[in-house]
Structure 1
Amino acid sequence: MLCPMMRFLDQNLCLFWAILGGDFQIEHIDKVSKKLYEKYGKIVKMQGLLGRPDMLFLFDPDEIEKVFRQEDTLPFRPSMPSLDYYKHVYRKEFFGDNCGIIAVHGDKWQNFRSKVNQIMLQPRVTRMYVKSIETTSQELVDRIEVIKNEKNQVPDDFLNEIHKWSLESIAKIALDVRLGCLDSDAHPDTQKLINAINTFFMNVPVLELKIPFWKIWNTPTFKEYLNALDTIREITLKHVDIALHNLSQDYSDELSVLQRVLKMENDAKTASNLALDMFLVGIDTTSNAVASMLYQLSLHQEKQAKLYEEIKNLLPYKSTQISHEKLDQMDYLKACVKETMRMYPVVIGNGRCTTRDRVIGGYQIPKGVQVIFQHCVISNLEEYFPRSGEFLPERWLKNSELFRNHHPFASLPFGFGKRMCLGRRFADLEIQTVIAKIVRNFKIEYHHGKLDYHIHPMYTPNGPLRLTFIRRQ
C-alpha cells in the first residue's frame, strides 16, 4: 500500500528528475529536504530513480529510532558508490580486502571495525590526547594573532586556517607527527591535501545525487574526484610511512592511533588504512563545526559572555593548561556545541539501506530501499525543540528552566548504533578544546551581513567568515 504522498511523487517523477539532474543546486539540499517535509509529511518515498535505489525520507524520530533499534548485526549504510568504486575497483591492488570503514559493508567492515573500536571509542583513550590537541589549538590562537588586520578582523579565507588546524590535530592524533600546517612557511603538501579533501567532498553529492553518468564513462567530475582521492592517499601515506619508520617500541600512554593499532593488532595495513580514513573524513567535518560555532558565538554575545565566564573560572590564566577534568566541568561549552550541531549539523542527514523487507511508518518497505534520516530538518522543528529557531544552549542544561528531555533521535549529528561516527569522541575533544582556547583568548565579533547556511561541502555559513578577534586582558 502506498500513502498519498508516495503516489504523488511517483506521478511527478519528472519534476524530481529535473531537481536531481538539472537546475537543482547541491548546496540547497537542506532547503529541498525541508520542502519535502512541508509538502508531504513525515514519510516520503521516491522511486524509479535512474541509476540508484528507491529512497524513503523519514522525518519522524520515533520511526528513526525503530529503524536503528531493529537494524541487523551488520547494518548497511547507504554508501557512496563512487568511493566504493575507488576502493574496490580503481585502487583494488592497494586496498585489497582491507578497505577501512568508509564505503565498506558486511564482514569486511565488521572485521575492520572490531579491530579499532576499542581505540577510537573508549573515553579513557581519547582523554590521553588532550595535551596534543591543546598544543595544536594554541597554534591556531597564535595564527589568529598573525593574520588579523589592524581592525582585528581575520581574512576572508579564515575557514582555510581552521582546516589547517584540523589537519594538524588529526596528524598528531593519528600519527604523532607535527606537520607545521599553521606555520607561515607550511609545506605545500598542506594546502594540496586540504584542496583535495575539499574537492572530494564537493564532488560526492554531484556524483551521488545527480544522474550517475560516471558509471557509463569517466566524466570530468569523476576524473577530478579520482585524482583528489589519489592525492589524499599519496600525501597521507607519505606521512604514515614516516611515522612507521620512526616508531619506537618503547610504548607509553601517549601513543598515536597508528601505534595503538600496531600494538594491539600488529597489522600495519589496518593501521595505515584507519589513518587514511581519519584524514579523509576527519578534517572538513570538524573544522566546519568549529567555524559554525565561532560564527554563532559572534552573533550571540550574551551566550559568548556566559561561556567565557565558565571557561575563565576553570582556566584563570591564559596559560592555564586544559585537562580532561576541566573539560568535563565545562557544561555550558558542551551545551553550546550541542546547540550548534542541532541547528546546523555539518552532515545534514544519515541513513540505512534495508537488508530485508520490513514495515516502516505502517508501510511495507522492500529490501534495498535507502532510508534517509534528514536530521537537519527534524532538529529544527518546533515539535521536538520549542523555540527551535533560537540559539539556546540552555536547553541542554539540566539545571536550566529551558531544559526538557528531548527526543534522543531528533538530533543525531554523529549518527547512532554500530555505524555511528567512529571519530566522534576525538571530534568532541577537538571542538571543545579549540573553542575553550579561542574564547579564553579572544572576544569574537561579526560586523557584516548575516550569513545563510549551505552545503559547501559540509553544512556551513555561506560566505567569508570575516570574524573579529579582540584580545582579552
Structure 2
Amino acid sequence: MFPAIESWDDAKALSFTEMLVVLPSLTYTVVWVIYTTWFHPLSRYPGPRLAAITNFWYAWAWTSGRWPIIAKEAHDKYGELSRNYDMKLFVKQALSLGDIVRIAPNDLSFITPQAYRDIYGQPQKGRKLFPKPLIFWKTINEPGMTHITDVDKAAKHRELLSPGFNPRALRNQESVIHHYADLFVDTLRRLSAGEHKEVDIGDAFNWVTFDILGELAFGESFNAVKNAKTHFWTSVVTEANFIQILPGLLIRLPILKLLSPWFMTKEQAAVYDMHRNLTMEKTRKRIRLGNAEGKADFFSHVLKGELTEEELASHASVFMVAGGETTSVVLTGAATFLAQNRRCFEKLRDEVLAAFGSTGGQGIDGEATARLPYLKAVVEESVRLFPPVSGFPRVSPGETVDGAYIPAGVVVLADTRTMARDPRNFGPDPDEFRPERWIDPKDKDAMNRKLTNLGFVPGPRGCLGLNMAQVEMRIILAKLVYAFDWELVGADGLDLVRKQRQMVMTTRPRILARFHPRQT
C-alpha cells in the first residue's frame, strides 16, 4: 500500500524507499493525464474530462443501466459547448454539432447517419471492415454469433447458420409464429373475461416471443402462453446477458477484479450458471431429436457435427436473447404507444379491419401484413423510440467515419438511440410517436429515410433474424389489433422513451393493461 500523504510535511518525511515507490506512480499518472488530455490522437474531440483519462467513466455509464440517457446528455452537452467556441473544425460538420464525443481514452461515440453506415455497413469501394473489439465482446464461455470477434470465424459460422434464416426457412417457420400468435390471442381473451384482468404487457409479449424462439431454437416451447406465466428461465435471460459483458470490462479495467464480490455477486453468478446449464440441457435434447420430425428450425441443417455442442448452445443462447427479448421489447413499446395515442390506434385498427375484416381475420400472414403501410410504420416508429439495443462498439481499422480519419485501434460506436431522437434526422418532434413520418415522403418534417431498422445492426455482422423479427412483429400486432382494444392501467404520465434502461438489452418498467375483446 502507498503511504498516506496529507500534507507537505508528510511528503518530506517519506523515506527514500517510500519515495522510490510513490514517485514513479505519481509521475506515470501525471504524464498519462497530460498525454491523454492534450496529446492523444483523440484529444481534439470533446467529452467528459474523466472519460479522457480513464475507462471508469465508460464502465460506470454502461453498468448503471442509464447508458441511453447518459450518451444523449453527453452529445447534447458537448455539442452546445462546441457551438459556444470559435474552434478549428478537424472533421466535417462534427465538433460544432456534438456529433462525435470521446467516451473513454480510446473510444468515440458518433450520432450521424453516415457514421452509422460507415461503422456497421458493408464495406464499399475498398473500405476496410470495422471488426468487433474484444474489450466489449469477450465472453465467459464459447462466444455465440454476436460475440465472435475473429472475422473469419464469424463469417464461417454465419454461413453455416444462415440457411435457418433465409426466405425459404422463414416461410416454413411462419406456421410456428401463427400457432403461438393465435394461442396468445386466445389466452388474452381468456384473461380478459369477467372482471377485465390486468396483464403486464412486457411479461405477456415475453410469453409469445420466447415460446416461438423455444420452438425454433430447441424444438419445443416453454408453454408460457398456454400457462399465462413467464418461464423462470426466460425471466433471467436479460440479467445473464448483462453478465456476459463483464469479461470485456475486466479487460478495460483489471482493477475491477478486486471488486468482483461487489461488482458481480454470488447470486448473479448463480443466475448465469443456471442460464448456461439450462441452455446446454436444451441444446443436447435438440441434438438428440435430430430431424426425425422434419423440423425446419434454426439448427435442423447443422446437426451433423459442423458445430460443437458448446458452439450450438452459445448460438442458441444468443438467438433466445436477440430473437425473443428484442421482439418482445419492440412489441411492448408499440402496444404502449398505441394505447397512449388513440388516433394512431384507430388508424391502425381501421387499416387491419379493412384488410382482414371481410375474411373474419383469416389471411393475416407475413406477406399480407407487408402490404399494410401504417402497420409497418408503427413497427418502425416503435423500434426508433423504444429500441431493444443501442449501437455496439467496433474497432477502426484505420478508416474514415463521416469524413473524419480515425486511427487504427480506436474503438467507435454509433449510438442509435441518440441518433433516433436527433431533430436533424426526425424533424422537430423526435420524441413523439408519429408513425406517419415513415409514410409521407412529402411531409414537411421529412425524416432521414435511410435510418430504418435502427434496432437491427446492418452489414456483414447484421442481425440474421431481421426478416423473421419483422414478420413476427407484424403478425402478432395485426392479430392483436384485430381482436382487441386495450387501455393502460395506472400509467398516467408514463414516458416510456425516458423511462427506458439498458443492461445491454433494454429493460422495461412494469406496464399493466386491460384488453377488451372486439366484436368483429
Interval containing the TM-score (normalised by the shorter chain):
0.7 to 0.9
Q: Using the TM superposition, give the Cα deviation of residue 161 of structure 1 relative to its aligned residue in structure 2, in angstroms.
A: 2.7
Q: Which amino acid aligns with 2:163?
A: Q
- State the alpha-carbon separation in 1 of the partners of residues 61 and 371 from structure 2: 49
- State the alpha-carbon separation in 1 of the partners of residues 62 and 398 from structure 2: 32
Answer yes or no: is the 8 Å Cα contact 1:43–1:361 preserved in 2. Answer: no
Number of the residue aligned with 2:207 = 164
Taking structure 1 as reference, are residues 420 and 434 closer, same or farther at Cα in structure 2, changes over 3 Å only? same
Q: Equivalent of 1:369, from 402, 407, 410?
A: 410
Alignment map for 1:374-453 (pairs within 5 Å): 374-386=415-427, 387-397=429-439, 401=443, 404=446, 406-409=448-451, 412-447=454-489, 448-452=491-495, 453=499
3-state SS of paired residue (2:132): coil
- State the alpha-carbon separation in 2 of the partners of residues 77 and 267 from structure 1: 22
Q: Equivalent of 1:293, from 306, 327, 334?
A: 334
- State the alpha-carbon separation in 1 of the partners of residues 502 and 155 from structure 2: 31
Number of the residue aligned with 1:193 = 233
Taking structure 1 as reference, are residues 409 and 395 closer, same or farther at Cα in structure 2, changes over 3 Å only? closer
Taking structure 1 as reference, are residues 43 and 145 closer, same or farther at Cα in structure 2, changes over 3 Å only? same
- State the alpha-carbon separation in 1 of the partners of residues 170 and 445 from structure 2: 28
- State the alpha-carbon separation in 2 of the partners of residues 78 and 4 from structure 1: 18
| Superposed CA offset, 1:384-415 (max 9, x none) | 11132322212222577468462524762201
Number of the residue aligned with 2:175 = 131
Number of the residue aligned with 2:225 = 182
Answer yes or no: is the 8 Å Cα contact 2:381–2:434 preserved in 1. Answer: yes
Alignment map for 1:225-244 (pairs within 5 Å): 225-244=268-287
Answer yes or no: is the 8 Å Cα contact 2:287–2:303 preserved in 1. Answer: no
Number of the residue aligned with 2:99 = 42
Taking structure 1 as reference, are residues 221 and 437 closer, same or farther at Cα in structure 2, changes over 3 Å only? farther
Answer yes or no: is the 8 Å Cα contact 1:166–1:286 preserved in 2. Answer: yes
- State the alpha-carbon separation in 2 of the partners of residues 109 and 24 from structure 1: 25
Answer yes or no: is the 8 Å Cα contact 1:102–1:277 preserved in 2. Answer: yes
Answer yes or no: is the 8 Å Cα contact 1:74–1:105 preserved in 2. Answer: no
- State the alpha-carbon separation in 2 of the partners of residues 403 and 22 from structure 1: 36
Taking structure 1 as reference, are residues 143 and 410 closer, same or farther at Cα in structure 2, changes over 3 Å only? closer
- State the alpha-carbon separation in 2 of the partners of residues 389 and 331 from structure 1: 21
Taking structure 1 as reference, are residues 319 and 258 closer, same or farther at Cα in structure 2, changes over 3 Å only? same
Taking structure 1 as reference, are residues 13 and 420 closer, same or farther at Cα in structure 2, changes over 3 Å only? closer
3-state SS of paired residue (1:177): coil
Q: Equivalent of 1:358, from 389, 395, 399?
A: 399
3-state SS of paired residue (2:393): strand
Q: Which amino acid aligns with 1:433?
A: I
Number of the residue aligned with 2:116 = 64
Taking structure 1 as reference, are residues 271 and 362 closer, same or farther at Cα in structure 2, changes over 3 Å only? closer
| Superposed CA offset, 1:122-167 (max 9, x none) | 2332232222111111222223234448553524x44223222221
| Superposed CA offset, 1:2-40 (max 9, x none) | 899846547454898775566997232222111111122
Worse-matched range after superposition: 7-16 or 100-109: 7-16
- State the alpha-carbon separation in 1 of the partners of residues 116 and 502 from structure 2: 26
Number of the residue aligned with 1:77 = 132
Worse-matched range after superposition: 411-420 or 8-17: 8-17
- TM-score under structure 1 length normalisation: 0.82
Taking structure 1 as reference, are residues 37 and 255 closer, same or farther at Cα in structure 2, changes over 3 Å only? same
Q: Which amino acid aligns with 2:138?
A: D
- State the alpha-carbon separation in 1 of the partners of residues 48 and 362 from structure 2: 61
- State the alpha-carbon separation in 1 of the partners of residues 293 and 316 from structure 2: 21
3-state SS of paired residue (1:45): strand
- State the alpha-carbon separation in 2 of the partners of residues 442 and 185 from structure 1: 17
Q: Using the TM superposition, give the Cα deviation of residue 267 of structure 1 relative to its aligned residue in structure 2, in angstroms.
A: 4.7
- TM-score under structure 2 length normalisation: 0.75
Number of the residue aligned with 1:86 = 140
Rg (Cα) greater in structure: 2
| Superposed CA offset, 1:292-345 (max 9, x none) | 110011111111111112222332255524333312222211110001111221
Taking structure 1 as reference, are residues 47 and 466 closer, same or farther at Cα in structure 2, changes over 3 Å only? closer
Answer yes or no: is the 8 Å Cα contact 1:318–1:440 preserved in 2. Answer: no
Answer yes or no: is the 8 Å Cα contact 1:153–1:468 preserved in 2. Answer: yes
1:142 aligns with 2:196: no
Answer yes or no: is the 8 Å Cα contact 1:379–1:410 preserved in 2. Answer: no
Q: Which amino acid aligns with 2:469?
A: A
- State the alpha-carbon separation in 2 of the partners of residues 243 and 24 from structure 1: 35
Number of the residue aligned with 2:506 = 459
Q: Which amino acid aligns with 2:75?
A: Y
Taking structure 1 as reference, are residues 199 and 46 closer, same or farther at Cα in structure 2, changes over 3 Å only? closer
Q: Which amino acid aligns with 1:57?
A: S
Taking structure 1 as reference, are residues 24 and 323 closer, same or farther at Cα in structure 2, changes over 3 Å only? closer
Answer yes or no: is the 8 Å Cα contact 1:144–1:154 preserved in 2. Answer: no
Aligned length: 447
Taking structure 1 as reference, are residues 324 and 359 closer, same or farther at Cα in structure 2, changes over 3 Å only? closer
Q: Which amino acid aligns with 1:33?
A: A
Number of the residue aligned with 1:105 = 149
| Superposed CA offset, 1:29-53 (max 9, x none) | 22211111112201112443xxxxx
- State the alpha-carbon separation in 2 of the partners of residues 216 and 74 from structure 1: 36
Q: Using the TM superposition, give the Cα deviation of residue 348 of structure 1 relative to its aligned residue in structure 2, in angstroms.
A: 2.4
Worse-matched range after superposition: 72-81 or 106-115: 72-81
3-state SS of paired residue (1:262): coil
Answer yes or no: is the 8 Å Cα contact 2:329–2:386 preserved in 1. Answer: no
Taking structure 1 as reference, are residues 102 and 237 closer, same or farther at Cα in structure 2, changes over 3 Å only? same
- State the alpha-carbon separation in 2 of the partners of residues 469 and 169 from structure 1: 22
Number of the residue aligned with 1:90 = none
1:32 aligns with 2:89: no
Q: Using the TM superposition, give the Cα deviation of residue 376 of structure 1 relative to its aligned residue in structure 2, in angstroms.
A: 0.8
Number of the residue aligned with 2:316 = 275
- State the alpha-carbon separation in 2 of the partners of residues 179 and 47 from structure 1: 41
| Superposed CA offset, 1:245-269 (max 9, x none) | 2334474xx6122213337x76564
Q: Which runs of 5+ in 2 are unaligned?
A: 1-38, 79-97
- State the alpha-carbon separation in 1 of the partners of residues 248 and 138 from structure 2: 12
Q: Using the TM superposition, give the Cα deviation of residue 174 of structure 1 relative to its aligned residue in structure 2, in angstroms.
A: 2.1
Taking structure 1 as reference, are residues 152 and 372 closer, same or farther at Cα in structure 2, changes over 3 Å only? same
- State the alpha-carbon separation in 1 of the partners of residues 487 and 64 from structure 2: 30
- State the alpha-carbon separation in 2 of the partners of residues 14 and 406 from structure 1: 32
Taking structure 1 as reference, are residues 25 and 371 closer, same or farther at Cα in structure 2, changes over 3 Å only? closer
